[in-house]
Structure 1
Amino acid sequence: MTLTTEALAAHDDVDPEIRRFVVALNHGYGQFSDFAALSLPERRAAAEIVRAPWRAGGPVMAKTVTAELAGCRARFHYPQRSDTPQPALLYIHGGGWTMFSIDTHDRLMREYAARAGVVVVGIDYSLSPEVRYPVALDEIVAAYQALRDDAGDFGIAPAAIAIGGDSAGGNLAVATSLRLRDAGERPPAAMLLNYGAFDPAPTASYARYDGPAYMLTVAEMDGFWRDYAGDPATLVDPLVAPLRADLTGLPPSFLAVPECDILADANRAMAARLGSAGVPVELRLYAGATHSFLEAVSVSSLASAAFDEAARWLAATLRRALA
């Protein structure tokens, strides 16, 4: 379905600047005849094209390096040159475990690097359904361990490495922290979680915000869970659905939650469960924002404010980790 500005205007709960972003993306995908009928490789290629304008521009880095980290393509964004090791954020892109890349999320990562003054590292983990759980999680755990163990080689302070991600990336960030904790290793210094996919169970926000006007549909999300988990029985695994996990001992967490998102309720529940487990947690609910709204930063003051809030929290949390 291709939405027009007029059609979306009926959804007056969406911030007008975010609405421009949603309409533009829907129009972009509409340029491909019967997008849903394309093969998965074709859909991935189309998504890279459609999202290209939204990753352009933004902060200029002192240095950007694309390399390999634990067997995955990785990109290191350094916002300033420094002779001393810097705090860092390992960022995991979203896309329902099946789509997107460090290219689609390049501006998002540079925004965090510039605003928080930290090195941001993104990785291209293996996508589903070609591989399924736990392959992507295994790769991200290995990437975090390599980043920590060889931190000096990357100009990074090993005690001040955060992990974060959006949507499926938020899921993988929490699962990585759980895996490290359960292995007796110190988890990352912080978790930065943007509209994460934390549990497949439907909630009230599923019914309220379903449809292309809000970026992410229930049918899409259900398909993403199936592609990632494979066997439906796997969906109850707490490393697949981390809202069901014991969250004790996880790092301080910041959750950016768009109000107009089918995942909003699960994010509120994750914040509550983290708090009940004794984890310092901050939740920011952004009225009028939809899923993926941070990618609209070039046109959205709301997205820019959300970046600023998260960056202030991240910089302060990582400074404490260095102390």
Structure 2
Amino acid sequence: MEPNTLSDPTAASTSARGADLDPEVRQFVSAVSQAFASHPNFNNLPLPEMRRACEHVRAPWAAGGPVMVQRQERMIPTPAGEVRVRIHNPSARANKPALIYLHGGGWTTFSIDTHDRLMREYAACADVVVIGVDYALSPEVKFPVAQRQIAEVVRWARRHSDELGIHRDRIALGGDSAGGNLAITTALRLRDEGEPDAVHAIVTNYAVTDTYSAPEALQRYGYEGYMLGADEMVKFWNNYLSSPDEARNPLVCPVHADLRGLPPVFMVIPECDILTEQNWRLADLLKQAGVKVTTSFYKGASHSFLEAMSIAAISNRAIDDTARWLRETLTAGDS
């Protein structure tokens, strides 16, 4: 199915324009919107300039937060090109679980820098090693390049578990938005390539799961006052895919996949997001496939709300909820 196109310019009349957001999340959305507005003609900037603007706008939200016992970067060779990873180790405890984290940004923008604090928060709250992946961005590369890179990082982490101080059989994949898509689809890729036990848990934060969003969701949340625009999502899909036909590929849109055999999944689902209804659809499909899925719903939250942890209590609650689930899931069976 081709990505949604917008044919009704009056659709925004049904939008609450952010009035239904948690007040602290609304403050975050407003601040980010104003920061983007300081970059004239942002949507028409050449990609390198657009990405620099995104890094600048997100930098204040990635600052502060927990300090790691060890923080290092490595370049990992993969069949799809070398990829940079950043490793956050919060404590001296050996043999910890690991979370391999994939930033959002529509496969097009953002980086391990824009999501640095979020990764450190997860590391500190769950006492896990978090490995952030700076996968190759679109449209310079298309599906499945980033996915193949991430799969190889998972394999690398397992091979080097002793060096990294992690347990090779307690590795989670997680990500937000497009990164959430990459988390679940990379787990599917590894399963299909004969490595069903490479990933032991999956975290999806307001993940992209389908090219289709319900018209009602687009009308209410795809305009002014929220974080992810309807038109913006169409552009992201066009950047990521070589042709609209690829949308039927289960490694692109997991709603079309055979989901059997996946590890437990934790889904962070905000109320006010064009992707919310498709996350509920995926949750139902996971349950039907026999996957243990936990949905955690946040009323008044928007797309990207986790990045507001410096000012929003609801963001910290979601991080704590995820960290608790990671601890319980990745240490199951410990005596």
Could you say which TM-score interval applies, normalised by the shorter chain?
Answer: over 0.9
Counterpart-to-counterpart distance in 1, 2:213 and 2:116 = 31
Query: Cα gap change, 1:187/1:247 in structure 2, threshold over 3 Å: closer, same or farther?
Result: farther
Counterpart-to-counterpart distance in 2, 1:94 and 1:321 = 32
Query: Cα gap change, 1:321/1:105 in structure 2, threshold over 3 Å: closer, same or farther?
Result: farther
* Distance apart, 1:78 and its partner CA: 0.4
Tell me how many residue pairs correspond in the alignment.
315
Unaligned runs of 5+ in 2: 1-14
1:252 aligns to what?
Answer: 264
Counterpart-to-counterpart distance in 1, 2:128 and 2:161 = 13
Name which of 101, 116, 126 aligns with 1:91: 101
1:281 aligns to what?
Answer: 293
Q: Please state whether the residue corresponding to 1:320 is helix, strand or coil.
A: coil
Name which of 300, 303, 322 aligns with 1:291: 303
Are 1:50 and 2:57 counterparts?
A: yes
Question: Which residue identity lines up with residue 189 of structure 1 in the other structure?
Answer: H
2:91 aligns to what?
Answer: 80
* Distance apart, 1:207 and its partner CA: 2.3
Are 1:104 and 2:150 counterparts?
A: no
* Distance apart, 1:10 and its partner CA: 5.6
* Distance apart, 1:64 and its partner CA: 0.6
Q: Please state whether the residue corresponding to 2:332 is helix, strand or coil.
A: helix
Q: Please state whether the residue corresponding to 1:211 is helix, strand or coil.
A: coil
Once the two structures are superposed, residues 149-205 of structure 1 have per-residue CA deviations (whole angstroms, 9 ceiling, x without a partner) of: 221121110010000000000111111110111112124110010000010012132
Q: How does 1:189-204 map to 2 (within 5 A)?
A: 189-203=200-214, 204=216
Name which of 280, 300, 314 aligns with 1:268: 280
Q: How does 1:13-52 map to 2 (within 5 A)?
A: 13-52=20-59
2:170 aligns to what?
Answer: 160
Determine if contact 1:87/1:156 at 8 Å carries over to the other structure.
Answer: yes
* Distance apart, 1:86 and its partner CA: 1.0
* Distance apart, 1:322 and its partner CA: 5.9
1:239 aligns to what?
Answer: 251
Determine if contact 2:169/2:198 at 8 Å carries over to the other structure.
Answer: no
Counterpart-to-counterpart distance in 2, 1:247 and 1:9 = 35
Q: Please state whether the residue corresponding to 2:124 is helix, strand or coil.
A: helix
Counterpart-to-counterpart distance in 2, 1:287 and 1:101 = 27
The TM-score, its normalising length taken from structure 2, stands at 0.92
Q: How does 1:128-207 map to 2 (within 5 A)?
A: 128-185=138-195, 186-203=197-214, 204-207=216-219
Structure 1: which 4+ aligned runs deviate by more than 6 Å? Answer: none
Query: Cα gap change, 1:321/1:266 in structure 2, threshold over 3 Å: closer, same or farther?
Result: farther
Determine if contact 1:17/1:299 at 8 Å carries over to the other structure.
Answer: yes
2:8 aligns to what?
Answer: none
* Distance apart, 1:321 and its partner CA: 6.4
Determine if contact 1:159/1:321 at 8 Å carries over to the other structure.
Answer: no
Query: Cα gap change, 1:32/1:179 in structure 2, threshold over 3 Å: closer, same or farther?
Result: same
Counterpart-to-counterpart distance in 2, 1:250 and 1:197 = 18
Question: Which residue identity lines up with residue 66 of structure 2 in the other structure?
Answer: P
Once the two structures are superposed, residues 44-83 of structure 1 have per-residue CA deviations (whole angstroms, 9 ceiling, x without a partner) of: 000000110000001111111111233211100001013x
2:232 aligns to what?
Answer: 220
Counterpart-to-counterpart distance in 2, 1:15 and 1:246 = 36
Structural RMSD (CA)? 1.4
Greater displacement, 65-74 / 117-126: 65-74
Counterpart-to-counterpart distance in 1, 2:228 and 2:18 = 15
Counterpart-to-counterpart distance in 1, 2:160 and 2:248 = 34
Question: Which residue identity lines up with residue 48 of structure 1 in the other structure?
Answer: E
Q: Please state whether the residue corresponding to 1:143 is helix, strand or coil.
A: helix
1:5 aligns to what?
Answer: none
Determine if contact 1:189/1:321 at 8 Å carries over to the other structure.
Answer: no
Determine if contact 1:160/1:322 at 8 Å carries over to the other structure.
Answer: no
Determine if contact 1:248/1:277 at 8 Å carries over to the other structure.
Answer: yes
Once the two structures are superposed, residues 278-316 of structure 1 have per-residue CA deviations (whole angstroms, 9 ceiling, x without a partner) of: 111110111100000000000000000001111100111
Determine if contact 2:271/2:297 at 8 Å carries over to the other structure.
Answer: yes
Greater displacement, 89-98 / 206-215: 206-215
